[in-house]
């Protein structure tokens, strides 16, 4: 397993890759063996071969005015139901995995009842849940609450569309969710994992939190890695390696990728 | 308000192999066992080994994935004990991928003081060396004369540098994580606060300074713009003018260089862009909430036009020095003959009338005539194994000593050549920050991770 000052085994980049310097999320589809990357500036969702290497072009693009894509930063896959989810702050767009070109989304989750804030999301295809993290709507933060109450997690039915209420809302001071960043989930245990960062650079309170998909309300995370005063300082990405019972976390300030043995959640 | 996520500089997807032994990834495993305790693999069905995408997707593939996720217990269980939670909170990583060495992202020569200054995006520092430093092959690395590093410095992912030819002041541009341009005196060292800083638009990248008119020009990736400030601008000062709009053909602009004699501005563009349109009414918002109350601020992401995104070929666009608004370039260098490939930084040679381009993934430096236009070939290409150029992200010219400097993000070096160097020419000197052949993770703000369960690899977007 890569460790220390490791050399990358391959790189995807260069002009033909159509990648830009602003990749804020990425997903791997184990069924189709594909990598999906949102393209922020060109307003596209790009799909690559799983084994892509070097200056390799995407094999598919979702791109064009009918897509409703506006500077997509995050993406999530449902490999079972063959769908791509794109959170766009006040809405979530859903496309078929095989969508290509200037196609309209097949579902749009949007409206005041949704309570979105959609910055990051993950899909549990087994329990048919769409889990969305982002800022709480204005007026929803408790009077006198600190920044720890400024973020939230919303749980919807996977196929929800339009202006629907979430099944549950996880928010409040006990959650310590300030700025939710990226998510993963582990369906066998009905858990989701969220990286939580603060607005501060080099913040000793950044952490990775684990909640149950059944949680609701002002619920503290069941488990946390990092914070306070642990190694994480500006936590960013998250990936799970179930067969090794490991959670991989990236940190901007440490400028590193760290792997934690975390059997408790697998 | 648009929320834009800071990234760093070097963006490419790096895949770090994970040697995981023989256990197949759980997402590629089918199983139907129900457990009340820890996980178990009931059956193992490894994915094909050929590494190619399977064009036909069987229904059973999704079913197998679904079944694998049905294993084990539900988490409708009691909250773990405080002691168990505390132990996990304090847990140390079992592995950490991290480069312990400086990774040079930008270079600028201080001719007056016979020094060279480098920005380092790995350990967040600015370092200065003697201009004639040349790391011996047997040496582990060269130690800098001075290093500026620490929380007070406000340094992070510094992507471009300028050294004032008169007093040696160092101007360093943070790309998009701190949103500041910081200025240090050449005496600064250690965890020194900058002498002054300027709040910049989201995604500011390149810097050029017009000494004659005492102005500085900055490229802005996120807003596809060039903003010009007074050279001494600081704090919340407003730009003097902004060049932005579809007619400009600016598209993910990076490098910038000035031809002071002709009064021309050169900008290198990677090619991705979307349109930001000024609202018919109401305030004009900057990206990531920046620019509130400031005039001439670029129109930000909240005003991005949905579906206006474009992929264009890379280019170098040329403007009159004081161009502003939605002004078309005077000419454009663009096309397959140009060899442009993520053109990341520019330097202009007023003596020879030549434009130098750091061509990052092509491991090359391209040189064009100053009046180049259209689909033209470079007049020189510095590239090849002898050059030691690897992922160049900065070029700088030392006209006094007739030298070209290149910062190589991909191999811990800055390399020096005769200005006229061409082809596969070895450097005159090399400054190295790591042992020869040290691995280069090239991580710069590893914002995103994914796990490729087929190849047992980590995918890291930087």
Mean of the pLDDT values across residues A24-43? 96
**Distance (Å, rounded) from C-alpha B260 to C-alpha B194?**
28
CA geometry: angle A68, A69, A70, nearest 5 deg: 115
Domain ranges in chain A with CATH number 2.130.10.10: 111-266
* pLDDT-based confidence at residue B170 (cuts at 50, 70, 90): very high
- Helix (H) or strand (E) segment spanning residue B69: helix B59-69
**Nearest partner of A195 among A155, A151, A165, A164, judged by Cα:** A151
Of A80, A182, A243, the CB nearest to B26: A243
Token pair in block for residue A16 = 């033909």
pLDDT (0 to 100) of residue A144: 52
Complex ipTM value: 0.95
Q: Do A28 and B453 touch (CB under 8 A)?
A: yes
The confidence score (pLDDT) of residue B443 equals: 87
- B311 touches A at CB < 8 Å: yes
pTM of the model: 0.91
Over residues A6-14, the mean pLDDT reads 94
Predicted confidence (pLDDT) per residue in A108-143, tens digit: 999 999 999 999 999 999 999 999 999 998 766 655
Residue B58 has pLDDT above 60, yes or no: no
By CA distance, what is A4's nearest residue in B? B97
**Selected residue with higher pLDDT from B2 and B142:** B142
- Of A69, A222, A248, Cβ closest to residue B458: A248
Residue A21, pLDDT > 90, answer no
Query: Is the pLDDT confidence value at B204 over 90?
Result: yes
Burial environment of residue A188 by CB neighbours within 10 A (0 to 12, 13 to 18, 19 or more) = buried
**What average pLDDT score do residues A68-76 get?**
96
> From 3.10.450.50, 2.130.10.10, 3.40.50.10440, 3.90.226.10, which CATH number describes the A111-266 domain?
2.130.10.10
* pLDDT reading at B216 higher than 80: yes
Helix (H) or strand (E) holding B67: helix B59-69
For residue A217, the distance in angstroms to the closest alpha carbon of chain B comes to: 15
DSSP β-bridge partners for residue B301: none
pLDDT in tens, A180-217: 999 999 999 999 999 999 878 888 899 999 999 999 99
Residue A219: CB atoms within 10 Å: 18
Give the pLDDT of residue B259.
98
Which pLDDT does position A102 carry in this prediction? 97
- Is A32 within 8 Å of B53 when comparing Cβ atoms? yes
| pLDDT level of residue B152 (50, 70, 90 thresholds) | very high
Confirm or reject contact between B36 and chain A (CB < 8 A): no
Q: In chain B, which among 402-461 make CB contacts under 8 A with chain A?
A: 438-455, 457-461
Residue A86 confidence class, pLDDT cut points 50, 70, 90: very high
Q: Give B1's pLDDT tier (boundaries 50, 70, 90).
A: very low
**Fold assignment, A9-101:** Thrombin, subunit H (2.40.10)
At residue B40, the pLDDT reads 33
According to CATH, where is 2.40.10.500 located in chain A?
A: 9-101
Q: Is the pLDDT of residue B106 over 80?
A: yes
pLDDT band at B73 (very low <50, low <70, confident <90, very high): low
Phi and psi at residue A147, to the nearest 5°:
-60, -15
Q: What is the pLDDT of residue A229?
A: 80
Any idea where the domains of chain B sit in the sequence?
13-96
């Amino acid at each position: 397993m890569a460790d220390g000052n490791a050399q990358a085994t391959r790189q995807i980049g260069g002009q033909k890759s159509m990648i830009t310097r602003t990749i804020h999320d990425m997903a791997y589809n184990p069924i189709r063996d594909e990598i999906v990357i949102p393209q922020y500036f060109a307003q596209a969702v790009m799909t690559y071969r799983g084994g892509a290497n070097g200056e390799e072009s995407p094999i598919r693009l979702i791109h064009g005015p009918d897509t409703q894509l506006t500077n997509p930063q995050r993406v999530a896959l449902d490999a079972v139901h063959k769908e791509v989810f794109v959170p766009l702050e006040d809405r979530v767009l859903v496309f078929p995995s095989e969508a290509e070109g200037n196609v309209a989304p097949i579902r749009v989750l949007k409206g005041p009842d949704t309570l979105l804030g959609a910055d990051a999301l993950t899909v549990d295809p087994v329990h048919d849940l769409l889990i969305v993290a982002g800022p709480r709507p204005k007026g929803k933060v408790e009077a006198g609450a600190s920044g720890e109450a400024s973020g939230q997690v919303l749980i919807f039915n996977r196929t929800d569309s339009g202006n629907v209420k979430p099944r549950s809302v996880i928010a409040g001071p006990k959650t310590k969710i300030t700025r939710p960043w990226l998510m993963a989930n582990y369906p066998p245990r009905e858990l989701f994992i969220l990286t939580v960062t603060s607005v501060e650079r080099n913040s000793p309170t950044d952490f990775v939190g684990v909640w149950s998909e059944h949680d609701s309300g002002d619920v503290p995370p069941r488990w946390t890695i990092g914070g306070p005063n642990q190694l994480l300082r500006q936590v960013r990405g998250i990936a799970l390696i179930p067969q090794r019972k490991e959670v991989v976390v990236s940190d901007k300030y440490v400028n590193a990728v760290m792997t934690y043995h975390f059997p408790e959640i697998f | 308000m648009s929320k834009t996520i800071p990234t760093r500089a070097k963006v490419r997807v790096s895949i770090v192999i994970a040697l995981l032994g023989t256990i197949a990834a759980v997402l590629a495993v089918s199983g139907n066992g129900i457990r009340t305790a820890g996980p178990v693999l009931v059956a193992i069905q490894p994915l094909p080994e050929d590494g190619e995408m399977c064009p036909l997707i069987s229904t059973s593939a999704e079913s197998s994935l679904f079944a694998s996720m049905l294993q084990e217990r539900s988490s409708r269980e009691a909250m773990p004990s405080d002691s168990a939670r505390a132990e996990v909170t304090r847990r140390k990583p079992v592995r950490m991928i991290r480069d312990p060495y400086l990774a040079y992202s930008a270079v600028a020569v201080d001719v007056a003081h016979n020094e060279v200054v480098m920005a380092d995006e790995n350990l967040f520092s600015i370092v200065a060396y003697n201009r004639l430093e040349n790391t011996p092959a047997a040496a582990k690395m060269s130690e800098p004369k001075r290093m500026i590093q620490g929380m007070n410095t406000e340094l992070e992912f510094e992507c471009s540098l300028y050294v004032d030819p008169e007093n040696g002041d160092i101007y360093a541009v943070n790309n998009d994580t701190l949103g500041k341009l910081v200025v240090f005196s050449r005496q600064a060292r250690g965890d020194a606060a900058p002498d002054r800083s300027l709040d910049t638009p989201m995604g500011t990248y390149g810097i050029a300074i017009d000494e004659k008119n005492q102005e500085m020009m900055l490229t802005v990736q996120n807003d596809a713009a060039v903003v010009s400030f007074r050279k001494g601008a600081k704090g919340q000062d407003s730009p003097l003018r902004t060049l932005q709009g579809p007619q400009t053909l600016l598209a993910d602009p990076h490098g910038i260089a000035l031809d002071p004699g002709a009064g021309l501005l050169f900008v290198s563009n990677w090619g991705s862009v979307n349109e930001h349109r000024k609202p018919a009414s109401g305030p004009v918002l900057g990206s990531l909430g920046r620019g509130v109350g400031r005039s001439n601020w670029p129109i930000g992401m909240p005003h991005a036009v949905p579906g206006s995104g474009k992929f264009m070929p890379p280019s170098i666009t040329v403007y009159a020095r004081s161009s502003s608004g939605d002004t078309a370039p005077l000419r454009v260098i663009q096309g397959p003959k140009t060899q442009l490939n993520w053109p990341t930084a520019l330097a202009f040679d007023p003596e020879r009338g030549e434009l130098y381009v750091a061509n990052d993934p092509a491991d090359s430096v391209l040189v064009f005539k100053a009046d180049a236009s259209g689909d033209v070939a470079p007049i020189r290409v510095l590239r090849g194994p002898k050059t030691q150029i690897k992922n160049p992200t900065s070029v700088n010219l030392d006209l006094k000593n007739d030298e070209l400097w290149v910062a190589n993000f991909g191999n811990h070096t800055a390399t020096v050549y005769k200005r006229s160097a061409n082809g596969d020419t070895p450097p005159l000197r090399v400054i190295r920050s790591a042992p020869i052949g040290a691995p280069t993770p090239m991580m710069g703000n590893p914002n995103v991770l994914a796990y490729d369960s087929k190849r047992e690899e980590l995918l890291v977007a930087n």
